[in-house]
């Protein structure tokens, strides 16, 4: 077993999830040959030759093959490169969630359009704090569930991989930013959250290879704990 595979840096077959030595062989610029998986005998990663929109559509359709391509072969989760991606992803995740909370509060800003700059800064800080605390609860419940329900061995590297996969799979939250331009009914937020929940389940299954029911339970409890924290403890809608 090579050093890359020991460190979890080897790519994976998107079909069966087994590690492969290489995904393709390049003979010349623009001339490559896709390699087959020794386990399932299929092309290890056909997404290499696909356009981004095709990959995005398959991600939206929750295809595990697309998630394996994104997490293992594109972002190289498990390598030494994912630490910076993790910190950036957490920051973006919290900021977008803060925007969701502010949108959920309704038209408070319209009712108080004459408030001072200091008041605006205070409200923004409060919303950001609510988002931070809610997501701390979410991540804690998620990792506890992975530890005690899925019984994943205690390895800080593995927990970091799981956390990054779940955050990356919450990409549909970025749709909420379109509310800055277009108006949507409040039910759109609920639909986005349901989609994020189901996407998190697929990502967790890809990372842990555990039964779907267990992954659904962990993700549901983590999301429920976050929203209960925002509603009751922080008194946000």
Per-residue pLDDT, 2: 40
**Do 217 and 120 share a structural domain?**
yes
For residues 191 and 166, give the distance between their C-alpha atoms in angstroms, rounded to a whole number: 18
Taking the alpha carbons at both ends of the chain, their separation in whole angstroms is 52
Clarify whether residues 7 and 37 are in a common domain. Answer: yes
Both 69 and 94 in one domain: the answer is no
Same domain, 61 and 103: no
Domain boundary among 14, 44, 74: 74
The pLDDT profile of the chain, 237 residues, written as one tens digit per residue, is 344 444 456 789 999 989 998 899 988 777 888 999 999 989 999 999 899 999 999 999 999 999 999 999 988 886 655 567 788 888 999 989 888 888 776 544 444 444 567 777 777 788 888 889 989 999 999 999 888 877 766 667 788 888 999 999 999 998 888 877 777 777 888 899 999 999 999 999 998 888 899 999 999 999 999 988 887 755 644
pLDDT of residue 200: 96
Same domain, 48 and 155: no
Per-residue pLDDT at 234: 56
Residue 127 confidence (pLDDT): 83
The confidence score (pLDDT) of residue 153 equals 66
Whether residue 160 is found in the same domain as residue 48:
no
Which of 13, 42, 74 is the C-terminal boundary of a domain?
Answer: 74
pLDDT at 102: 81
User: 67 and 98 share a domain?
Assistant: no
| 80: nearest Cα among 168, 9, 166 | 9
Domains: count for the chain: 2
56 in the same domain as 39: yes
- 21 and 97 part of one domain: no
Residues 36 and 136 in one domain: no
Question: Domain residues for 133?
Answer: 82-233
Instruction: Mark which of 47, 74, 101 sits at the end of a domain.
Output: 74
* 90 and 70 share one domain: no
Whether residue 89 sits in one domain with residue 48: no
């Amino acid at each position: 077993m090579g050093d890359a595979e020991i460190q979890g840096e080897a790519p994976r077959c998107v079909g069966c999830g087994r590690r492969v030595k290489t995904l393709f062989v390049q003979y010349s610029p623009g001339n490559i040959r896709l390699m087959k998986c020794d386990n399932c005998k299929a092309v290890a990663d056909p997404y290499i030759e696909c356009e981004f929109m095709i990959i995005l559509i398959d991600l939206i359709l929750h295809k595990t093959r697309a998630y394996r391509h994104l997490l293992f072969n594109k972002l190289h989760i498990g390598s030494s490169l994912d630490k910076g991606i993790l910190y950036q992803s957490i920051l973006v995740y919290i900021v977008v969630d803060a925007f969701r909370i502010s949108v959920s509060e309704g038209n408070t800003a319209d009712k108080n359009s004459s408030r001072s700059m200091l008041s605006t800064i205070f409200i923004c800080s409060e919303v950001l704090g609510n988002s931070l605390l809610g997501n701390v609860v979410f991540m804690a419940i998620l990792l506890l569930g992975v530890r005690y329900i899925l019984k994943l061995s205690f390895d800080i590297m593995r927990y970091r991989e799981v956390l990054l996969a779940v955050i990356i799979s919450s990409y549909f939250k970025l749709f909420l930013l379109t509310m800055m331009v277009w108006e949507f009914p409040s039910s759109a937020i609920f639909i986005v959250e349901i989609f994020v929940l189901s996407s998190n389940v697929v990502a967790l299954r890809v990372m842990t290879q555990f039964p779907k029911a267990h992954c659904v339970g962990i993700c549901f409890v983590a999301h429920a704990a976050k929203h209960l924290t925002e509603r009751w403890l922080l008194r946000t809608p």
